[in-house]
Structure 1
Amino acid sequence: MHDVAREAGVSRGTISRLLNGDGYVSVEARERIEAAIRKVGYAPNATARNLARQRTNAVGFIVHEPHALFLEDPNIGAIMLGANEALSEADYQMVCLVVGSERDATRVGRYLRGGFVDGCVVVSARANDPITDVMKTAQLPVAFVGHPPDLHDLSWVGIDNVASAREITARLLATGRRHVGMIASALDRDSGADRLAGFSAALGDRFDAGLVVPVDNYSYSEGVRGMTELLSRAPHVDGVFAASDAVAAGALEALLRAGRRVPQDVGVVGFDDSAWATRCTPPLSTVRQPAEGLGRAAARSVLDQISGAQSEPAAILLDTPIVWRESA
């Protein structure tokens, strides 16, 4: 900056005002400074600037899932892209942090407490999640995608999983299915538990707990395992609600192996309207989850908290239309 000031014939304070946008700089001075910057090859030191401002211009994107599922689940990728789009527009970097084990949770918690990011978007948090505790103690700006029950005064963005699951189950029942089961994933998370609640509500007195097979996560392999188990319990099952499209795709594979036709013998519906839905044969009837919209909304909430534009916790719900295709 000394070199630029000498070349342009202005003070360092004038240069600082121009670079930081903190005050008036005349057109003539601006042109001289810009010409001097080009001539001397000056580049602002972002690290020094961020230290002075006590900002990193980075936001963490935390996914609490096994590493393999992080790569397999297209919803996580879409949420990440939506968040990155909003952060990029604000000239922020996204730091991706995957929590797949207790060791990961400890490492990421230490990183967050070290002040390396200005805030966080958190995906797939559970109740009593150690990362949630870190957010509370570190007082970092944060927005969760989903709504674990112990968030209390933290911001979140999500969908009405109960109503969406109830609606698509009712649509499946309206096709005349009499023995409808569910492959219920991730019951330790609000999304999984709420989808089971919506399924149960749609069936009412017809709900049979024996036709619900719980599986660990939203994956293709768990769909194969869950559908195989459901067929062994109830060979007469003629309708299935799978808690995600990936799970539904696995269910279709298990039904094919068992010689069951879809939708003639068994109607299958999923949840997400992800890439899985259109690549399946037949294509899946499903609930459209606005994954990129969730990521954008969560990132904007974090940015608003950082800037001071949002001073109170926000709760944002996005719409989830039904998309009806050939699988049911």
Structure 2
Amino acid sequence: MTADVSPPVRPATLEDVAAVAGVSRATVSRVINGATTVDPALRRVVEEAVATTGYVPNRAARSLVTRRTDSIALVVSERERRPVAEPFVGRMFSDPHFGRVVGGVLDVLRPAGIQMVLMLADDEASRNQLLSYLRQGHVDGVVLISSHADDPLPALLHDTRLPAVLAGRPLRPSPLTYVEADQRAGAQMAADLLVSLGRRNIASIAGPQDRPAGQARLDGFLDSLAGHGIGEVEVAEGDFTHTGGASAMRKLLRDRPGLDGVFIASDLMALGALPVLLRAGRDVPGDVAVVGFDDSSAALACDPPLTTVRQPVEEMASEMARLLLKQIGKSGRPEPSVVFHPTLVRRESA
């Protein structure tokens, strides 16, 4: 008895797609390779033909023609490793801000068929490893999340001539494109609200002062209070973590026990700070009005729910991805930087 052996199914080709779409092979190739000069109606016809035939592009062959990998690196740069209660990776994945950035970037990359590679750089060895990977052409571009003001990576990235977009304005002058929220303006909103509520004994849990966002938020807050005639402000520096916020609040209560208003430079720090206030017998907002920054999931986890300054993190992350793809399409020419405007979200803490 002879076995029934079916012939192997032949993969669909560009010619098959062209025949179904009724266009030339060259037109199909232009659509698949992302050419922007194809008429939208014609593009839809070709895309429908691709779906009908089940055509799958040969990425290896395509990359030889386009010199692209169809992948980008999301690089998170941290300070040199040092003993901490929670390792760098643990802090990163426990911070709701990071998840929002990843979600916003993927919202743009997925429809474009672009893969994202997550890479970490927290000491000289890992930076060198990262730069070697980038120079070998494994990705088409980089979105860089840098955590500190003296980070050498922006300059090193520029030297690679790889398309790159920064999350946040760098303190040092840089030709790289960046996307950020107006941190100073957001902090000024927090100060103006506390003053409008009649608070005068005001303090702040600041973000790390070696980070651009930490500096900008504190400067904006203090400048606004000075404009209202309030020059004596107690400041405790935190580290943008839950435990850092709790520790900083205990310090504020020791140094300024009569405080009646607090600006906390991140919602995650506020999540740690509010229970300290409540355990000290201070009612929020009756005794102490509290304003945070970010409008992350931590703001709703606070008790009471946190009044906070919203920076549109997902929209900013999506814009970073869009600007990077534009640069890649223009052979790396930088795009104009973009600054988003924050808004104040009123809840029950102020």
| TM-score (norm. length: structure 2) | 0.81
Match of 2:231 in 1: 207
For 2:117 and 2:158, how far apart are their aligned partners in 1? 19
SS of residue matched to 1:84 = helix
Task: For structure 1, list consecutive stretches of 5 or more residues without a partner in the other structure.
Answer: none
- Determine if contact 1:126/1:148 at 8 Å carries over to the other structure: no
Distance 1:160 1:134 in 2: 26
Among 28, 53, 58, the alignment partner of 1:18 is 28
Partner of 1:87: 109
How many aligned positions are there?
A: 314
Larger deviation, residues 285-294 vs 100-109 = 100-109
Q: Which runs of 5+ in 2 are unaligned?
A: 1-9, 79-87
Counterpart for residue 60 of structure 1: 73
Q: Deviations over 1:195-227 (max 9, x none)?
A: 000111121142335x11112x21111100110
3-state SS of paired residue (1:89): coil
In structure 1, what is the equivalent of residue 271 of structure 2? 249
Matched with 2:320 is 298
Amino acid at match of 1:18: V
Give distance in 2, aligned partners of 1:196 and 1:280.
Answer: 22
1:174-253 paired onto structure 2 within 5 Å:
174-204=196-226, 205-208=229-232, 211-215=234-238, 217-253=239-275
Map 1:25-44 onto structure 2 (within 5 A): 43-44=56-57
For the structure 1 residues 42 and 85, does the alpha-carbon distance in structure 2 shift closer, same or farther, using more than 3 Å as the test? closer
How much has 1:7 moved relative to structure 2? 9.6
SS in structure 2 of the partner of residue 206 of structure 1: coil
- Verify the 8 A CA contact 1:125 1:132 in the aligned structure 2: no
Alpha carbons 2:14, 2:29 under 8 Å: kept? no
Superposition RMSD on alpha carbons, in Å? 3.0
Quick one: structure 1 residues 42 and 263, their matched pair in 2 at CA, closer, same or farther if it must change by over 3 Å?
Answer: closer
Partner of 1:159: 181
Hey, what's the Cα distance between the residues in 2 that align with 1:196 and 1:108?
A: 32
Whole-Å separation in 2 of the counterparts to 1:43 and 1:266 = 61
Pick aligned residue for 1:258 from 280, 303, 320: 280
Q: After the TM superposition, which of the residue ranges 227-236 and 65-74 deviates more from structure 2?
A: 65-74
TM-score by length of 1: 0.86
Asked if 1:134 is matched to 2:156, the reply is yes
1:48 aligns with 2:71: no
Q: Are residues 235 and 5 of structure 1, via their aligned partners in 2, closer, same or farther at CA, if it must alter by over 3 Å?
A: closer
Cα 1:312–1:132 change in 2 (3 A) is closer
Determine the C-alpha separation between the residues in 2 that align with 1:326 and 1:2.
Answer: 60
2:292 pairs with 1:270: yes
Q: Which digits, 9 at most, give the CA deviation of each residue in 1:18-56, with x for residues without a partner?
A: 3454899xx9xx99xx89x96xx9754312321332111
Q: Give 1:262 deviation, angstroms.
A: 1.0
Identity of aligned residues (%): 35
AA in 2 matched with 1:208:
E
Distance 1:283 1:83, change over 3 A: same
Contact 1:301 1:310 in 2 (8 A): no
Deviations 1:281-323 (A, max 9, x none): 1010101110000101111110111111984441211121101
Secondary structure, in 3 states, of the residue corresponding to 2:60?
A: helix
